[in-house]
Amino acid sequence: MRSIWLYLIIAMAVRAAGEAENPNLWWPQFRGPSGNGVADHSDAPIHFAPETNVAWKINTPPGHSSPCIWTGRIFLTGCVQNQLFVFCLDRGTGQELWRQTAPATPLEPVSGLGNPAASTPATDGHLLFVYFGSFGLLAYDLDGREAWRLPLTTPITQHGAGTSPVLAGDLLLINRDQDLDSHLLAIGKLSGKILWRAERPGFRRGFSTPAIAGNLVIVPGTLRLVAYDWATGKEQWSVSGFPNEMCSSPVVARGVVYVAGWSTGPGPAKFPAFQNLLDSSDQDKDGRLSRTEAPPGPSQQHFIYMDANKDGFLTREEYESIARIFAASKNAVMAIRLGGHGDVSSSHVLWKQSKGLPYVPTPLFYQDRLYLVKNGGMVTCLNATNGAPFYLEERLGVTGDNYASPVAAAGKIYIASQNGSVAVLAAGDSFNILARNSMGEKVMATPAIVENRLYLRTASHFYAFGTGSK
């Protein structure tokens, strides 16, 4: 199901926004000079399990948000009995410090393995920012007192919201790609007021969290990646050559954007002419197709996707728009040099690859290598400079899909799979598995590493793993 790429995408970009760096803080997909998901001065354990190397563990409510960690606090979201909330844990003990309920009624629909508590919170060390597709944005101080709220319309997609908020200077940015009316919002992080809105015509549902690079907010989506000036929302440059839906987030390292996209059915698709479908299947002759009228084939298979306004009917405009998108869809991972203006597809793409592509997990840039995790438990390692493979689609020995993004610490790569196994690899040019750890229940969220602790959320627990002293 396409509902989960979203739940794993992480929301932090404080260093990229030029704010102070705390050496004791780490969160998934932290976007600094070393790339995303890197805690190189930490030494988390290699071997761990529900009863092995556990510093502490607690029961947690369902939710797919990954941990947001600031000094001694961990922030998460959850959903219990159709009620959304955000809660804070003490990092040293796991004790719950506070919990606040989000004013969301009704909850947005999700599909498959989805959860309405999908987006990962963001913090600048003073305020905590939380996004729920069912409500909008909420800001709290770190003791749980609400600072402001900004209700937003529920995204138009049957999968639910997937992106997470990111910080850039005094702005909070949230990308809201959906089946109708996609846009990027910039909100004053202190006021909670919308400062600008960039429309994204032509972009359908998307689940990538933006990346911040200097004065740019970089947002991948349907067929294209676009860089906006984060102060004004004006488009600066773009690159084409991506799939119809984007799930993983971009990574920025050393002046280069690394972005990977994979979706089913890329390339020229055989969509029958809409008029032919009307002639054969439009029983009431109203010039559109209902779900029951749609014949087998693309119109039936992709009906919910094509029905942009979710009114239960396919119009010519809706159908032909998706047919054009599918025809142009391409799966790829690219390295894109920052800079330029307009369409820089032919001038700034340093290299591209089409093997080992992730569906959901964000690429990991680590020690001049790019790691990709493909569904089915396969990992690829590329030379980040030229895209040459060190190894391709090596099997982790763990079955199932992957929704969590890989993270790294002290020469080790941690890769969590949906079925609850966490593989630990040695970073380097050769494929070398150090350990396979079974958690006994699903893992959808990306792990976090602080100092010598590995923090991991499973379906019903939250663990702090470590072998040394606190």
**pLDDT value, residue 112:** 81
Cα separations in angstroms, 163 against 132, 276, 320, 370: 10, 38, 27, 22
For 52, the domain range is 5-267+329-465
For 101, the enclosing helix (H) or strand (E) is strand 96-101
Number of domains forming the structure of the chain: 2
403 in the same domain as 278: no
- What span, in angstroms and rounded, lies between the C-alpha atoms of 8 and 66? 6
431 in the same domain as 318: no
Residue 470 domain-assigned?
A: no
120 in the same domain as 33: yes
**pLDDT value, residue 468:** 59
Residue 306's CATH number: 1.10.238
Q: Both ends of the chain: CA-CA distance in Å?
A: 39
**pLDDT value, residue 117:** 95
Residue 90 domain-assigned?
A: yes
365 in the same domain as 419: yes
231 in the same domain as 335: yes
Calculate the average pLDDT of the chain: 90
Residue 415 domain-assigned?
A: yes
Q: Is the pLDDT of residue 8 over 70?
A: no
Phi-psi region of 339 (alpha: psi -120 to 50; beta: other; left: phi over 0): left
305 in the same domain as 341: no
CB atoms within 10 A of CB 77: 25
Residue 356's CATH number: 2.130.10.10
232 in the same domain as 152: yes
Residue with tokens 């839906």: 245
Residue 381 domain-assigned?
A: yes
How many residues can be counted in the chain? 470
Q: What is the largest CA-CA distance in the chain?
A: 73
pLDDT tens-digit series, residues 113-122:
889 999 999 9
227 in the same domain as 207: yes
Closest CA to 232 of 184, 275, 190: 184
- What span, in angstroms and rounded, lies between the C-alpha atoms of 114 and 404? 13
Q: Is the pLDDT of residue 207 over 80?
A: yes
Q: Is the pLDDT of residue 4 over 60?
A: no
pLDDT tens-digit series, residues 152-174:
999 988 888 889 999 999 999 99
pLDDT tens-digit series, residues 377-432:
999 999 999 999 999 999 999 888 999 999 999 999 999 999 999 999 999 999 99
Stretch among 18-22, 70-74, 86-90, 224-228 having the lowest mean pLDDT: 18-22
Given 282, 309, 326, the domain boundary residue is 326
263 in the same domain as 378: yes
**pLDDT value, residue 186:** 98
163 in the same domain as 123: yes
pLDDT tens-digit series, residues 286-343:
999 999 999 999 899 889 889 999 999 999 999 999 999 999 999 999 999 999 999 9
Mean local confidence (pLDDT), 349-365: 97
Given 326, 343, 358, the domain boundary residue is 326
Given 291, 309, 326, the domain boundary residue is 326
Residue 411 domain-assigned?
A: yes
171 in the same domain as 241: yes
216 in the same domain as 301: no
Residue with tokens 């556990």: 54
